Structure 1
């Protein structure tokens, strides 16, 4: 089924498309498009790609069109492929606009779950794949140019709005920014009334919508998405420019495409709810093929399942309304994967017999069942040839990839195959982790401690530490109690007395300690960090206590 994806790659041929005089769309430089809008005394950029490296390549070609200063950047939403190249385009006077929710979401998530989202996004987008290992495209773009060798050039928004619409006049160009939640809760679309152009961001692209992303997201609200598509239809624009895939030209073509797109989302949403109310689980709905797009929707070029899929959407919609519990009683308290694997292998007659059954399942083209058996054997393989097991595991994954129409699913299978063979290990580089820390606010650097807290090491101890950053005069408290970390802004005399007061010369020093580019001992020796007691007096004896505190946040 990957033939469709191969043909789909034509959508992402690297090019600068001039949609209208002064409006240029860069396609195929990375996962998303970046848009250059020329103004009288400067230029405007909409979305900035996923890395410094991608942005630098686009900027070279944009500069050939116009080398005027970038007066403004507009973020359509918080996804990394739209914001991580901003520093390449911006100068000290550049304004960066977004919805207020964009900054809220980034503040909460940018470094909170970085290790796992890096790994899962790498699998979904196939960032470790190349032509030799099967990479074709990413369903909505050429490739995600962000792996362990890339760098972020993210800059936070300077100007945000929280109304439903916001007007901007920049360099003789008029924009109206509309809040239009869809693929994300902070989504905006951008209307240029004089030019009759609508920038659609990720609310439409030439693939079935990704109501749930397997890289790991909350389910996108289908009803919000439909409402935003209705808003977009009502503009009756002549030009629609998405942030992924090519622009659409012509009022009727745009209106009809948006209509089909919103109708497909509503169809899957409504029919899923219909079967939910009959008491069916996602496995039953999908396994019995109860929801399939009607021919008119299924055949539409913008509804091919190259990115999102109907089946993943069914699962996501179920989860959005009813949560993780399927309603099947045995799902209430499932055994651990290891116990389930042990029971499965015992039921199958032992590891060698189960391996033979997996091989038979493969011959019978029962690839999903073969994969389930092999995944069980990976936990109990003492009696098997591990190299042979991994080779067969990889073969199953590659076969499933060949049958997968979604680039996301295909990339996941092929990337997992490389991991099984031991060819790759996916994790952010040390340099990227450091970059994340230094791009974060000091408040977020302290907040993230709570999700890195090893409560077993703490052994139920109670501890209160005050932090004071001399350069900004910011104060924070961190209290360990009941096996949690409670970080609070500021501290005052009404609080109980702390075990330690940590005086830090600059926020940058603390970021160096957190990122391990400077050891706590070095910082203490240089008097970049000073330890004080409850009365605010120098307390050299507290150094060991401080080091022990930091060790509570290591694996």
Structure 2
């Protein structure tokens, strides 16, 4: 409760400068708040979803600091950032920027869905006049910064040279590969991170702390035509010159900032935000490098700080004035530097990840800056990520080397404490004493020991709800409230993501075969060993697939004449039969898939590939 007291005092003393920055330059917003999905199945984004936030004090069911942050992030519409620089904000988790390049627009980071990006472009055209798009910039390799590209341009115009697509070197590989191997698990966990099954309300989702909820529409991808390969590289589009800074390994594996010398404006991608970012998303990812992040911000300050009167970014709000920009970047840099250096210092004294997370705090001079608050990433979560990056999951205690899994451990814990009723009573006592985390730990054991224990489930849902209401981080609120929801009503049975043509066209065939490899049923794959040649007619590729010892191995450009079969098909037919679960027999009978050798062997292979499970349990066994 002392933490809540602190944030109430901070909110009461707020100078409202961020609100002024958020509202500066407002031109207009959409008349119809509903941005509809192109497939007619509902709404991609509802601009009215966060109306409950505005003009009201923080509800008792919310952290007042997060309420303040959400009010700023959900101010939606078209804004003039500076002469010839505009943004559409609040249409998605991210922000899209439009730079007037004379004869047309440079569009920076075209949101998560085609529908949201199109709505933003239409708003710009309505109020600023119709102009063609000359270039699209992807600042980095996360979907909320490229997947709406189909709403502002099309592949034909890019192929014809009418529109360029600029991205950091390695963008396409990283954009496609990050979610390939662990995609189903990441999507399931993302429901928790973003509160995707929660209502938008003072009792539910209150943004992620980084931006509004992601738009849920059509995903697109057009491959870059121009790679940014080095810092200092200049590119001119129309009458606008841009100077780029590569920042790989910061918030994304492929990322870049850029400077507009003609406008004295710097675009900081997702490297400088209105909050502390995460080094390891709750949905899962490779751990990001806090040291590199801080070092690149140091370089940004050196390159652009004294030359910038405007700073805008891929999330949040712009900042204005050289002094404010430099102070912001410096303090933001120092927060990541402190986080990294002090985590490592404590790690080297023998503290474990959870022990470091318990004691590590930013100095007040950094912590009291709104943009360093843990709305999206937290000091607790990020310090654990740094520990994981350097030392991994093991804390060196032999008791942690080979622990029991959650369910059998829970049964033993509950038995040792006297049974389920005793554990529930202990949790009720902990709640009365204000020890909500301990209550959650006790009740989690009770639920994993006996998932039918209704009293334990309801009490744990109640504790998670209280923890969610108190959380300053939007992500933590969403996680706790989603956990409570699933304890009360079960897991929402959502369909797995359908194959996306644009993503598939950008994906290499080895990536597709990697997906199949991590879905192989080891029992079936151990029962039979074979080799199979895959010939992809439409892309002129040959791949040798070997199944033995329970694994699938693939080799590109190799053909084995002793293989049990040679299968000729297109890449799309490979996707549909190997990954999407469509029976190959119908393609074989239609003459689309040709097989030489053992005609049943390809069916044996496809039968070994399991379908992803998008709705697995998290808060119960």
Do they superpose with TM above 0.5? yes
Please name the residue that 2:256 is paired with.
Answer: 188
Assess if the C-alpha contact under 8 Å between 2:578 and 2:609 holds in 1: no
- Which shifted more, 544-553 or 30-39? 544-553
Please name the residue that 1:79 is paired with.
Answer: 142
Structure 1 residue 169 corresponds to structure 2 residue 229: no
Q: CA deviation at 1:377?
A: 2.1
Please name the residue that 1:389 is paired with.
Answer: 456
Give the Cα–Cα distance (whole angstroms) in 1 for the partners of residues 500 and 121 of structure 2: 26
Assess if the C-alpha contact under 8 Å between 2:357 and 2:379 holds in 1: no
Please name the residue that 1:267 is paired with.
Answer: 338
Structure 1 residue 498 corresponds to structure 2 residue 498: no
Give the Cα–Cα distance (whole angstroms) in 1 for the partners of residues 169 and 392 of structure 2: 28
Give the Cα–Cα distance (whole angstroms) in 2 for the partners of residues 472 and 545 of structure 1: 23
Give the Cα–Cα distance (whole angstroms) in 2 for the partners of residues 19 and 497 of structure 1: 65
Please name the residue that 1:462 is paired with.
Answer: 529
- Which shifted more, 199-208 or 104-113? 104-113
Structure 1 length-normalised TM: 0.92
Structure 1 residue 256 corresponds to structure 2 residue 307: no
Assess if the C-alpha contact under 8 Å between 2:309 and 2:321 holds in 1: yes
Please name the residue that 2:278 is paired with.
Answer: 210
The 1:352/1:434 distance shift into structure 2, 3 A limit, reads farther
Give the Cα–Cα distance (whole angstroms) in 2 for the partners of residues 471 and 502 of structure 1: 13
Q: CA deviation at 1:438?
A: 6.2
Q: Write the deviation string for residues 169-201 of structure 1: whole angstroms up to 9, x where unpaired.
A: 111111122102321221100111111111101
Give the Cα–Cα distance (whole angstroms) in 1 for the partners of residues 131 and 516 of structure 2: 43
SS of 1:155's partner is coil
SS of 1:137's partner is coil
Structure 2 matches for 1:394-473, cutoff 5 A? Answer: 394-422=461-489, 424-425=491-492, 427-431=494-498, 437=504, 440-473=507-540
Q: CA deviation at 1:459?
A: 2.1
SS of 1:459's partner is helix
Q: Which of 75, 79, 96 lines up with 1:17 in the alignment?
A: 79
- Which shifted more, 425-434 or 58-67? 425-434
Assess if the C-alpha contact under 8 Å between 1:111 and 1:437 holds in 2: no
The 1:426/1:176 distance shift into structure 2, 3 A limit, reads farther
SS of 1:501's partner is strand
Q: Write the deviation string for residues 12-62 of structure 1: whole angstroms up to 9, x where unpaired.
A: 200211112221111111101100112222211110111223222212212
- Which shifted more, 193-202 or 95-104? 95-104
Assess if the C-alpha contact under 8 Å between 1:31 and 1:81 holds in 2: yes
Give the Cα–Cα distance (whole angstroms) in 1 for the partners of residues 300 and 140 of structure 2: 16
Q: Write the deviation string for residues 499-541 of structure 1: whole angstroms up to 9, x where unpaired.
A: 110011x3222233245485311101101001102xxxxxxxx
Structure 2 matches for 1:137-148, cutoff 5 A? Answer: 137-146=207-216
SS of 2:277's partner is coil
Q: Write the deviation string for residues 296-353 of structure 1: whole angstroms up to 9, x where unpaired.
A: 1111121111111111121111111111111222111111112211220111111222
- Which shifted more, 250-259 or 36-45? 36-45
Assess if the C-alpha contact under 8 Å between 1:73 and 1:96 holds in 2: yes
Please name the residue that 2:590 is paired with.
Answer: 526
Please name the residue that 1:538 is paired with.
Answer: none
Please name the residue that 2:48 is paired with.
Answer: none
The 1:286/1:546 distance shift into structure 2, 3 A limit, reads closer
Q: CA deviation at 1:409?
A: 0.6
Give the Cα–Cα distance (whole angstroms) in 2 for the partners of residues 296 and 428 of structure 1: 47
Q: Extract unaligned runs of 5+ from structure 2.
A: 5-62, 158-162, 612-621
The 1:359/1:432 distance shift into structure 2, 3 A limit, reads farther
Structure 1 residue 305 corresponds to structure 2 residue 374: yes
Structure 1 residue 507 corresponds to structure 2 residue 576: no
Please name the residue that 1:546 is paired with.
Answer: 602
Please name the residue that 1:245 is paired with.
Answer: 316
Assess if the C-alpha contact under 8 Å between 2:578 and 2:606 holds in 1: no
Assess if the C-alpha contact under 8 Å between 1:46 and 1:73 holds in 2: yes
SS of 1:224's partner is helix
Structure 2 matches for 1:331-350, cutoff 5 A? Answer: 331-350=400-419
Please name the residue that 2:121 is paired with.
Answer: 59
Structure 2 matches for 1:122-133, cutoff 5 A? Answer: 122-132=191-201, 133=203
- Which shifted more, 150-159 or 191-200? 150-159
Q: CA deviation at 1:106?
A: 2.3
The 1:333/1:385 distance shift into structure 2, 3 A limit, reads closer
Give the Cα–Cα distance (whole angstroms) in 1 for the partners of residues 385 and 179 of structure 2: 23
Please name the residue that 1:539 is paired with.
Answer: none
Q: CA deviation at 1:436?
A: 5.3
Give the Cα–Cα distance (whole angstroms) in 2 for the partners of residues 360 and 78 of structure 1: 48
Structure 2 length-normalised TM: 0.82
Q: CA deviation at 1:223?
A: 1.5
Give the Cα–Cα distance (whole angstroms) in 2 for the partners of residues 428 and 58 of structure 1: 28
Deviating beyond 4 angstroms after TM superposition, the runs of 4 or more aligned structure 1 residues are 432-439
Structure 1 residue 3 corresponds to structure 2 residue 64: yes
Please name the residue that 2:55 is paired with.
Answer: none
Assess if the C-alpha contact under 8 Å between 2:220 and 2:503 holds in 1: no
Q: Which of 69, 88, 110 lines up with 2:132 in the alignment?
A: 69
The 1:314/1:471 distance shift into structure 2, 3 A limit, reads closer
Q: Write the deviation string for residues 231-283 of structure 1: whole angstroms up to 9, x where unpaired.
A: 21121211110111110010111001111111111112111121111111122
How many residue pairs align between the two structures? 537
Q: CA RMSD in A?
A: 2.0
Q: Write the deviation string for residues 40-92 of structure 1: whole angstroms up to 9, x where unpaired.
A: 22211110111223222212212222422212111111111111101111132
Assess if the C-alpha contact under 8 Å between 2:287 and 2:386 holds in 1: yes
Structure 1 residue 233 corresponds to structure 2 residue 301: yes
- Which shifted more, 438-447 or 92-101? 438-447
